[in-house]
Every structure is written in C-alpha cells, then in structure tokens.
Amino acid sequence: PQAKKIKIKDIANYIGKRVEVHGWVHRLRIQKGHAFIILRDGSGFLQCVLTGDLANAYQTLTLTVESSLAVFGTINKLPEGKSAPGGVEASVDYYRIIGLAPSGKDSFTNKIQEGTDPNLLLDRRHLALRGETLSAVMKVRAKALAAVRRFYQEEDLTEVTPPCMVQTQVEGGSTLFSMNYYGEKAYLTQSSQLYLETCLPALGDVFCIQESFRAEKSHTRRHLSEYTHIEAELPFITFEDLLDHIEKFVVHIVKYIMEDPVSGALVKKLNPGFVMPKEPFKRLQYVEALDWLNENGVLNEDGTPFKFGDDIQEAAERKMTDTIGVPILLIRFPVEIKSFYMKKCADDPRVTESVDLLMPTVGEIMGGSMRIDGKDELLKGFKREGIDPTNYYWFTDQRVYGTCPHGGYGLGSERLLAWLCNRFTVKDCSLYPRFMGRCTP
Ligand code: 4AD
Ligand code: MG
C-alpha cells in the first residue's frame, strides 16, 4: 500500500496505516531475529521493529547508531504493559540507509564518551546536541521564546531589533568586548536597553530578543560571554506598574510554556519538582535582604557581615533564594552598586527604583529599573561612572525631546531555562555556549 511521508509527532493519526518516516538511529538493539530501532526525527521518537529477513540482513546487522534512514512500515498501537514512545510501534517492511554513521573507534558513542576530558562534550557539542537532554532543553527554549512573543503580542508591545555593534556601554566598562570597527573603537552590546528607550516616543511599549555580550572573566554557573537577552521598555509607568508588569509577564510565559503539550511535558520530565510561580511574588527590599542574610549567618565574600552598599554576590543570593524557596522581587538597591541610568527613590535618594527577580536554584534571572528621565540628573550619573557622555547624545536626547517617566527590564533566557529545566549551569541552555576560553564550535 501507499505510504504517506510523515513526521513522528503526528504518528498517533496513522494507527493501522503504512507510513514513510525519515530520521536518525537514536538507539539500536538486535536480538534473536528482531531488530529494534528507536528512530529520532527531531519531532519525536518512534520504535521501529524489524523481523525475519529484514532483521537478519547484512545491512541491519551492520547498522550503526546515528545513521540516517528512510523507514517504511505500518503503525501499530502497543498493548498495555509494552512500552515505547507514544505507545506505538512501526512494523517495518522496508528501509533504506541514507547516511551510514561510522562504527568502531569513530562511532558516535565513542565520539561523545571517549576518555575523561571534561571538555569533550563541549568540543563535540554538534554531536552532543543530539542527546535527549540537550535537545529537550533546546525545544523548551524555542517554546519559551514563542511564549515571550505571545505575551508581548497580547500586551501590544512592538518588537524591534537594535544593533549589536555599538559605541556605548550599559552595564559597566569592565565587561565590554571591544572591536575594531573600520578603524574606530566599537563594542559588542551588553544590553539593548538604551536603544529601546529611544523607541518609546516612536512606538510606545517595545521589546526585543537580542544577543547581549559580556566579557565575564570568571567561570560561574550562570555567566556566558554571549546570551539571549529578552528586554522590554515601557513609557509613562510607575515603579509599582513595572513590578506588576514583571510579575504578570513571568506568570504568563510560564503558563504558556507549561500549557504547550511539547514544552509542558519536557519541563515536567526535566524538572519533576517544578512549582508554578504564583502572584503576587514576594517583594523584599535590599536592606531587608541584608537583615535576612545577617540573621541567617550568611557572610559576605570577605567573611564579614553584610552592610549597606555591599553587593549581594551569587552564592549569598542563591542561598537566600533557595532557603526562602519562592520567586523574590528584590527591590531598591543602593545607587553605588547599580547602573548610571537608574532613577533614585523619591523617599530615599540612597537607593534606586531597581529590581532583580530571583528564582530558587539560579538566583537573579532578570534585572530592571525605572530610568532617570531628567537630562541633568543623567549627566551626573555618567559622571559618577566616569563615562564621557559625548557618544550618548542620542540617548540623552531622549530626555530633551519630550521626556517621560519610563522603565524596563532584561531577562536572561538561559537563566530562565536553567530555572525551568533544572539545569546546573546556563551552559546547558545555550545552543553553542560562549564563555571565557571557549568560542567554538
Ligand atoms: O542585570 P543586567 O546586567 O541588566 C541589564 O542589562 C539591563 N540593561 C536590562 C534592562 O533593564 N533592559 O542583565 C539582565 C539579565 C540578568 O538578570 C541575567 O539574567 C542576564 O541578563 N545576564 C546574563 N546571562 C548570562 N550570562 C551573563 N554574563 C549575563 N549577564 C546578565
Ligand atoms: Mg543584574
């Protein structure tokens, strides 16, 4: 009978029918006149069974993992108790090898397992990506970005694409990657925030999903040199509005990700203990966090108790978040540990209208603030940071040609995924991670 060429994800619609499926040999088992192939096509996994002459054929006996195949067979529902992906199996009557993968020392399995070099899986990322965990995280990642776009579309934010090659800094000079731009000094962008701010009078609420770059000179679980930055900027809001928006954003994107049959199932598999974040999030002021840390015996990096003005470093931040165990909006950081553009609180000029969103297991996944909207105040911010404002004329003009109160935030997509998918490091959430010492493959 005729066979329809289908994707494995649609297999349930073809019970009792003959189909043609293309994919890669994910797993292979040959025993007593039967060959079992788990075929993978990127949309799902399908158990294929070969019997009789087909199972005993030389082509089958010498088949290798990761070979690509065209498989023809009839789809059968498996009886209760027999397990296979989707509860179905293809009874194969014919198959063709498209690309035979090597055997022996060059086999796929050897390529990702040989030796004890901890860098092996990073050097062989192109092969490791085929594994169940990494490919699952990449599927969730795609769905997460779609969920973000869906939320912004529903809330009517306009998507823009700011440049990655820039001549300004946003988050401090020490993590800038610089480059030679036709003989001029330029940088890889650390954040698209300043560009988003300039879009407000033209487009209203805006967002972007753009790569950001940070020359992080240390190895941590949550720092990359290049990461996918989800940023939004909103005019005519208050700090309270910003916090409410962030809460709504996070709750909605997680809901969309978990409601999606593909990403919902994958997150549950990768992170069986996952708890949906609930509104309202716990709000904690920076000074209250210091009290919490000191009361709970968590010390500063130099071994002393925390005092006003100290940065709460990764380890302490995670300790606090893991112990409290729910998402925290940490707000009102001191001026001196935050960026030049952050607006001061009207009731206490020592602190800013700033927020970090902290999640258990990861800590900070998002940072945001209200922005200084007066030109003179902004120039003072530049001065405090030792930044020459000349190159920022277009940003400063935002405050000249019809300024407005505004604020926004940036969410690190790899950190969001590390939290959602329960990954130890953000490196597991990036397709080809870049960090100090690695820019390949
Ligand atoms: O806290 P950050 O530095 O804030 C900004 O860049 C703001 N300009 C964003 C804005 O208001 N539009 O970075 C925002 C988020 C962090 O919370 C973190 O999730 C992520 O970006 N991030 C990184 N992710 C991976 N590797 C790095 N090196 C990161 N640096 C920041
Ligand atoms: Mg931050």
Domain membership of residue 354 (yes or no) is: yes
Task: Report pLDDT for 82.
Answer: 81
Burial class (CB in 10 A: 0-12, 13-18, 19+), 279: exposed
Distance (Å, rounded) from C-alpha 324 to C-alpha 182? Answer: 51
Per-residue pLDDT at 167? 97
pLDDT for 32 equals 83
Look at residue 436 and tell me if it is in a domain: no
- Output the residue whose Cα is nearest ligand 1's atom 20: 412
Query: Residue 440: inside a domain, yes or no?
Result: no
46 is a domain residue: yes
Our answer on whether the CB atom of 229 is closer than 6 Å to any ligand 1 atom is yes
In a domain, 118, yes or no: no
**In this predicted model, what pLDDT tens digit does every residue of 57-72 receive, in sequence order?**
999 999 999 999 999 9
Decide: 353 in ligand 1 pocket, CB within 6 A.
no
Whether residue 364 has its Cβ less than 6 Å from ligand 1? yes
Residues 214 and 79 in one domain: no
ipTM over the 0.85 cut-off: yes
Q: Does position 118 have pLDDT exceeding 90, yes or no?
A: no
pLDDT above 70 covers a percentage of the chain that reads 100
CA of 275 to the centre of ligand 2 (A): 24
- Is the predicted pLDDT of residue 391 greater than 90, yes or no? yes
Based on the fold, state whether residues 206 and 318 are members of the same structural domain: yes
407 three-class SS? strand
pLDDT of residue 402: 97
Q: Which residue pairs from 174-180 have beta carbons closer than 8 angstroms and sit at least 24 positions apart in sequence?
A: 174/215, 175/214, 175/215, 175/216, 176/215, 177/213, 177/214, 177/215, 177/225
Asked if residue 1 has pLDDT above 80, the reply is no
Ligand 1 pocket residue status of 155, Cβ below 6 Å:
no
Query: Per the domain annotation, does 54 fall within a domain?
Result: yes
Q: For residue 80, what are the domain limits? A: 4-106
Q: Which of 106, 141, 157 is the last residue of a domain?
A: 106
Q: Check residue 115 and give its pLDDT.
A: 76
Residues 143 and 75 occupy one common structural domain: no
**pLDDT band, very low/low/confident/very high, at 228 (cuts 50, 70, 90):** very high
CATH number at residue 302: 3.30.930.10
Domain finish residue from 106, 138, 153? 106
256 inside domain: yes
Q: How far, in Å, is the centroid of ligand 2 from the Cα of 355?
A: 9
**Predicted TM-score of the model (pTM):** 0.97
Residue nearest to atom 2 of ligand 1 (CA): 367
Indicate if 91 and 149 belong to the same structural domain: no
Tell which one of 166, 176, 228, 229 to mutate to probe ligand 1, the residue whose CB is within 8 A of the most ligand atoms: 229
Asked if residue 372 belongs to a domain, the reply is yes
Tens of pLDDT, residues 280-313: 999 999 999 999 999 999 999 999 999 999 999 9
Ligand 1 atom nearest to CA at 426: 25
How would you class 126 by CB atoms within 10 Å of its CB: exposed for 0-12, middle for 13-18, buried for 19 or more?
exposed
Cα dist. 223→214, 218, 278, 366 in Å? 8, 8, 27, 13
Query: How many whole angstroms separate alpha carbon 229 and alpha carbon 402?
Result: 28
pLDDT of 38-49, one tens digit each?
Answer: 999 999 999 999
Q: Provide the percentage of residues in the chain whose pLDDT is more than 90.
A: 95
Residues 223 and 265 in one domain: yes
212 and 318 belong to one structural domain:
yes
- Atom 22 in ligand 1: which residue has the minimum CA distance? 412
Rounded average pLDDT over 197-216: 98
Question: 61 and 97 in one domain?
Answer: yes
Chain-centroid distance, C-alpha 200: 26
Residue nearest to atom 1 of ligand 1 (CA): 367
Contact (CB, 8 A) for 44 and 86: yes
Q: What is the tens place of the pLDDT at every residue in 145-162?
A: 999 999 999 999 999 999
Which run of H or E residues covers position 46?
Answer: strand 45-51
Residues 57 and 171 in one domain: no
Q: Does 164 share its domain with 75?
A: no
Tell me, yes or no, whether 371 and 416 share the same domain: yes
Give the chain's domain count. 2
Reduced to 3 states (helix: H, G, I; strand: E, B; else coil), residue 270 is helix
Q: What is the pLDDT of residue 374?
A: 97
* Closest ligand 1 atom to 231 CA: 12
Together in a domain, 50 and 165 = no
Q: How far is the CA of 118 from the centre of ligand 1 (A)?
A: 28
* Residue that is last in its domain, among 106, 139, 156: 106
Residues 54 and 197 in one domain: no
Residue 189: CB within 6 Å of ligand 1? no
412 lines ligand 1 (CB under 6 A): yes
pLDDT category at 80 given cuts 50, 70, 90 is confident
Could you say which ligand is closest to the alpha carbon of residue 409?
1
Query: What is the CATH number for 93?
Result: 2.40.50.140
Beta carbon of 409 within 6 Å of any ligand 1 atom? yes
Q: Which of 191, 219, 370 to mutate to test the pocket of ligand 1 (most atoms within 8 A of CB)?
A: 191
pLDDT tens digits for range 329-351: 999 999 999 999 999 999 999 99
| DSSP code per residue over 360-401 | TTTEEEEEEEEB--SHHHHHHHHHHHT--GGGGHHHHGGGTS
